[in-house]
Amino acid sequence: MKENPYRQDNEEIRELVIQFQNLKAGRSHSFLDEEAFEKIIDYFDDVEDLQQALEAAELGIEQYPYSSLLLIKKADLLIATRKYHDALDVLGHAELLDSNDINLYILKTDAYLALDQQEKAVVLLENALALFEGQERIEMLFELADVYDDYEEFDKIFDCLKLILEQEPNNEEALYKICFWTDFTGRNEESIKLHQRIIDDFPYSELAWFNLAAAYQGLKLYEKAIDAYKYAVAIDEKFDYAYRNMGDAFIRLRKYKDAIEALERVLELSRPEDVIYEAIGHCYDRQKNFAQARFYYRKASHLNQGDSKLYYKIACTYINEQQWTMAVKQLETAMQIHRLQPEYNLAMGECKMQLGEYKEAIQYFSNVVRQRPRNISSWEALIRCLYHGEFYDEALEQANAAMKITDTRPIFIFYLSAIYFALGKAKEGLVQLERAMSISPKMVKKFIELNPSLLRHQLVVDIIARYKRNKSI
């Protein structure tokens, strides 16, 4: 029967620790070699007894003063106990003995960063790169990338990751990271060239295909992006992020059916997310399938009950179906979360106006006007509501205010004309209509939509017809 190697290791460590304790207490003159001290230090470090680990390191260095390895271990422990300057002193001694140990540079970097000396860390690592090859150089480049991140040198992070992939094209960590930094830095063209080279050598790298697709997507080359995503999911049919991004690309191309298929696949492969349900809802919304859009918006809202936007979107589906009362209920929920959101107030005002609740509608539209005094649509909604509610004097006042604030937009001159007609001031109404038509005749549609019965007035028809004959409309 074979002995358990784990048990053997434990027994060896116990024996070494006993020897160390005896040596430390002066009860023994037994010999411990350099490797034994390494094991003792590692043991105490693993059990988080840093004081004893440090004592073991110091005793080991007493016996082996030229051991760069023991010096590096001591420095690591000093950093763990936040004695950064002491650690740098120890690492200085270690460097004199062996300047080719990568741990030396990594620990120095940690100490510099802890002391908020990022520049020193950068210089150290940049100079050290020339000393290493293979996996050690890759490790050093990752370390340098992390320092650049702290130092907010984002383009240099991309450069480091690019160098790693040029040396090791299938390095998964670099492939994962460079996708984010490509998007962040906007270096999509470089990323495309890099990943095309990688794919030439590793055609079954789903990450390379994904990164290529993401770079195309960053350049708004959505068709090419979709083709690349399709290769990624052909290699790995469970690559949910590829389906997710593909869905977004299809949405950008207004291919909503294809987008829904891709996003439904995401739901099959990963846990449900509100953003995916919302995106599917958006697709159905664009297809004017408002019932299905509501279904998915509701699913999204169940997962993220604090997102007022989802209730607003549900409300909009009801508005599109002219179900004003149902829309009001959803808007009330949205406004419990964000009461003053202009879009919500505009939508609520429209619903209340359609329900004939003009005074309430006026209040909601007024909220938006106060928040966005130069917004044309909010003034337009307020004046329309005052007009339909037969508050003509107030409508006149607000139309004049709107013209003053918005640099006399033609729409408000048309509204002014309609209000004068409603007040029985036909002469003033005709003057304003002529004025409006001379500025923006095509906007007369808004005038007619406000009150189609104005076309019963022959002089109104004559003015409009004159501009139509002149091909101004």
Taking the C-alpha atoms of residue 98 and residue 410, their distance in angstroms, rounded to an integer, is: 81
Taking the C-alpha atoms of residue 149 and residue 420, their distance in angstroms, rounded to an integer, is: 64
Residues near 339 by beta carbon (within 8 Å), at least 6 away in sequence: none
Smallest CA-to-CA distance from 262 within 290, 237, 291, 297 is with 237
Give me the amino acid identity at 411.
Answer: I
- Equal fold, 1-98 vs 173-270: yes
- Take residue 98 and report the two structure tokens written for it: 């062996």
Taking the C-alpha atoms of residue 111 and residue 89, their distance in angstroms, rounded to an integer, is: 11
Q: What architecture (CATH level 2) is domain 173-270? A: Alpha Horseshoe (1.25)
End-to-end CA distance of the chain: 100
Q: What percent of the chain has pLDDT over 90?
A: 83
**Domain at 1-98: CATH code:** 1.25.40.10
* Residues 254 and 287 sit within 8 Å (Cβ to Cβ): no
Smallest CA-to-CA distance from 153 within 188, 129, 118 is with 118
pLDDT at 31: 76
Out of 195-199, 230-234, 330-334, 460-464, which region has the weakest mean confidence (pLDDT)? 460-464
* Residues 348 and 328 sit within 8 Å (Cβ to Cβ): yes
* Residues 334 and 308 sit within 8 Å (Cβ to Cβ): yes
Q: What's the mean per-residue pLDDT of the chain? A: 93
Taking the C-alpha atoms of residue 191 and residue 179, their distance in angstroms, rounded to an integer, is: 8
Q: What is the pLDDT of residues 332-378, one digit of tens each?
A: 999 999 999 999 999 999 999 999 999 999 999 999 999 999 999 99
pTM of the model: 0.82
Give me the amino acid identity at 81.
Answer: T
Q: What is the pLDDT of residues 408-456, one digit of tens each?
A: 899 999 999 999 999 999 999 999 999 999 999 999 999 999 999 999 9
- In the predicted model, is pLDDT for residue 11 greater than 60? yes
- In the predicted model, is pLDDT for residue 1 greater than 50? no
- In the predicted model, is pLDDT for residue 4 greater than 50? no
For the chain, the structural domain boundaries read 1-98, 173-270, 408-473
Which of the 8 DSSP states describes residue 452? Answer: G
Local confidence band at 473 (pLDDT 50, 70, 90 cut-offs): low
pLDDT at 14: 84
Q: What is the pLDDT of residues 188-210, one digit of tens each?
A: 999 999 999 999 999 999 999 99
The long-range contacts involving 67-71, CB below 8 angstroms and separated by at least 24 positions, are 67/34, 67/97, 68/94, 68/95, 68/97, 68/98, 68/101, 68/104, 69/34, 69/38, 69/101, 70/34, 70/37, 70/38, 70/41, 71/97
pLDDT at 2: 43
* Burial grade of 300 (CB within 10 A; 0-12, 13-18, 19 or more): buried
pLDDT at 239: 97
